[in-house]
Amino acid sequence: MGRKVYVVLNGKAGRRGLDFSKQEIEKWFKTHEPGIEVVFGITERAMHAAELAAAAAKTGEYYAVVAAGGDGTVNEVANGLAHSGARMGIIPNGSTNVFCSEMKISSDIQIATKNVLEGIPVRVDVGRVGERYYIWMLGIGIEAKIAYQVNPKIKKYVGVLAYVISALRQTFDKGRQVMKIIIDEDKEVTFSTFNTIVGNAASFDGFLGIKSKFSIKSGYLDVCVLQHKSPIGILQLIINFARGRRDYYRFVDKFSAGHLRAKKMRIETVPNAYYHVDGEVLGMTPIEVEVHHKALTLILPENTAGKAEAENWRKLNKEERERPLP
């Protein structure tokens, strides 16, 4: 009997129609592995993807639970699978898939489905703010304001460019906060900032292009505090973004960025500021944030997973590799 995969498919968003997406995903899974069984769960409301993913994981029947959608769907599925032990796969199928770009997961369904079946399962960290996990990043300040003001209809058709349009509107916004970060309950630092990023993956921000040298498996969250906004810096970043350039650190000096690492923190601002997780605006500060070390098993391409992870995976026999989890 072949493997089974459960695909959580966003019922509303996406670059393709729902029926076409289902047909393409199932077609390519079966092309790669004819005996595979593909079961779909279609989302109908906010956080429904988390519910579907958690329920599928509890059955213990599936080789992987797969998020097929944009960054929002990926976040919700990660919320359903954190601490479950189940493998999480991703098929980029949304208007924005910045996290997949960071993890080098192809937006081509043929390649993405093959990665689910042949990629390397890696235990990675997740961040948590309140009751919500996040897999990529938490943003506080102008970035969350940009996300808050993005027009959903524009985003559906132009993807990440919708954020560029919103960012242009904020170029000369003088809004900023005094931020106090209480680290691990006993250290305190204060900054003046217009935007702060608490990153889990290597890239702090798919738009600003500021990158940490630390990985998604480090056991720490990377806090990047942008203190002084430069309209020229933002315009340069937008131009380079449009050209597809990703020269990290190139314009960090335009923002006087401060950096620290922590496992747990409380963030307070005056005035209160919007925050988002993985692109979804959830509320305003103050907030409690912490890392959950290796709480999620994510299927990654070999060049992202790393040589050691790939070698350890290949030491397992076929039965061990294809065993349903948890």
Same domain assignment for residues 150 and 278? yes
Same-domain pairing of 252 and 109: no
- Mean pLDDT of the region 127-150: 84
User: What band does 247 get if pLDDT is binned at 50, 70 and 90?
Assistant: very low
* pLDDT above 70: residue 229: no
Q: Is a pLDDT exceeding 50 seen at residue 326?
A: yes
User: For the domain that residue 173 is a member of, what is the CATH number?
Assistant: 2.60.200.40
Asked whether residue 279 falls in the same domain as residue 306, the answer is no
Let me know if residue 253 belongs to a domain.
Answer: yes
285 shares its domain with 310: no
Q: Say yes or no: 204 and 88 in one domain.
A: no
Residues 114 and 165 in one domain: no
Pairing, β 87-92 against β 258-262: unpaired
What count of other Cβ atoms lies within 10 Å of the Cβ of residue 273?
Answer: 27
- Residue-wise pLDDT for 63-111, tens only, equals 999 999 988 999 999 999 999 999 999 999 877 788 888 888 999 999 9
Indicate the average pLDDT of the chain: 83
Is there a single domain that holds both residue 213 and residue 150?
A: yes
Q: Domain limits at 75?
A: 4-119+301-322
Q: Note whether 175 and 48 are same-domain residues.
A: no
What is the mean predicted confidence (pLDDT) over 15-40? 92
Q: How far is it, in rounded angstroms, from Cα 204 to Cα 105? A: 18
| Structural domain includes residue 235 | yes
Share of the chain above pLDDT 70, in %: 76
Length of the chain: 326
Residue 50 lies in a domain: yes
Judge if 157 and 54 occupy the same domain: no
Q: Are residues 67 and 114 in the same domain?
A: yes
Answer whether residue 5 shows pLDDT above 80.
Answer: yes
| pLDDT band per the 50, 70, 90 thresholds, residue 184 | confident
For residue 162, being part of any structural domain is answered with yes
Q: For position 112, which CATH number holds?
A: 3.40.50.10330
| Most confident segment among 56-65, 149-158, 217-226 | 56-65
**Judgement on whether residues 137 and 284 belong to the same structural domain of the protein:** yes
What's the N-to-C CA distance of the chain in angstroms?
A: 18
User: Do the domain assignments include residue 261?
Assistant: yes
> Which pLDDT score is estimated for 206?
44
**Using CA atoms, how far apart are residues 237 and 247, in angstroms rounded to an integer?**
10
Distance separating alpha carbons of residues 235 and 134, to the nearest angstrom: 29
Domain count, the chain: 2
279 in a structural domain: yes
Question: What pLDDT, on a 0 to 100 scale, did the predictor assign at position 120?
Answer: 96
Domain assignment present for 127: no
What are 161-174's pLDDT values in tens digits? 666 665 566 555 66
Q: What is the model's pLDDT at position 215? A: 74
Q: How many CB atoms lie within 10 A of CB 71?
A: 27
**Stretch 283-297: mean pLDDT:** 96
Q: Which amino acid, one-letter code, is at 196?
A: T
Q: Span 242-250, mean pLDDT?
A: 42
Cα–Cα distances in Å, from 67 out to 182, 189, 210? Answer: 34, 38, 26
**Percent residues over pLDDT 90 in the chain:** 52
pLDDT at 160 over 50: yes
Q: What's the per-residue H, E or C state across the chain?
A: CCCEEEEEECCCCCCCCHHHHHHHHHHHHHHHCCCCEEEEEECCCCCHHHHHHHHHHHHCCCCEEEEEECHHHHHHHHHHHCCCCCEEEEEECCCCCHHHHHCCCCCCHHHHHHHHHHCEEEEEEEEEECCEEECCEEEEEHHHHHHHHCCHHHHHHHCCHHHHHHHHHCCCCCCCEEEEEEECCCEEEEEEECEEEEECCCECCCCCCCECCCCCCCCCEEEEEECCCCHHHHHHHHHHHHCCCCCCCCCHHHCCCEEEEECEEEEEEECCCEEEECCEEEEECCEEEEEEEEEEEEEECHHHHCHHHHHHHHCCCHHHHHCCCC
Is the domain of 178 the same as that of 231?
A: yes
126 belongs to a structural domain = no
Confidence of residue 261 (pLDDT cuts 50, 70, 90): confident
